[in-house]
Amino acid sequence: FPVTICSNMVNVNSVRLALNMGEYAQTLNYLDQFTSFWEQLGERNAEPQEFMLIRSAALIGLQRAAEAEVLLEKMLKQLNFPGLAPWEGNPLGLEPVNPYEAGRRIAAHYMRAGKYEQALRLLQSMERARIHTISRMPKEPVPGGYWAAMVEPTAMLDDQAAIYLKLGRDAEAEELLRASLLAQEKKAGKRLPLVMTRLAELTRRQGRNVEADALMQRAIVTGK
């Protein structure tokens, strides 16, 4: 029995590889095998969250977005935004799912599907959960730490700004981008070129070409 578990955990790599290679039908086949395995252990309707994300991605790749979104909605209800991250991971097999990263990926799917308001509501609810959790964290460190403390706040700002840009809500997008730019300039953040580029595109759209050119030049220099 332990050998069977080890074998199934090692084969997780086969699932990830199939997805990365664009072999979506094979990915689902592998996942169905794992589902059968979990059911044998008495874990009915308890597909691991990483598998739920992979299954959703495979369904989207097969143009079965409606099925994927049902699964994503189910997963959203399971994500523990105020929770603690595991302090120790398995050397083999599944990785713990960061609920904020998973939520951002789901929001990105909604955005690609043109469901901008749905994506925005999700990101805003995640940001509220992050702020609330951090405000209630104990002063003393705890093993693993809180997922909320591992989030890059400017990434959340940038995601929301991207949606506001798609919706043509430039004022709201600019407010978030400038807040992100200010935060990243203080610590030389890796996302600086992206934020500057988006601000440049926004200001150019508004006819502020001198400012747009300056921002683009800074983005090029910073990105080198």
List per-block mean pLDDT (blocks of 10 residues) for the chain, which spans 224 residues.
45 87 94 77 71 94 96 94 79 76 96 96 97 94 92 92 93 95 83 91 93 93 81
> d(Cα 203, Cα 141) in Å, to the nearest integer?
43
Q: Are the CB atoms for 52 and 109 separated by under 8 Å? A: no
> Would you state the pLDDT for residue 2?
44
> d(Cα 184, Cα 84) in Å, to the nearest integer?
26
Q: Are the CB atoms for 105 and 50 separated by under 8 Å? A: no
Secondary element (H or E) of residue 65: helix 65-78
> d(Cα 76, Cα 106) in Å, to the nearest integer?
9
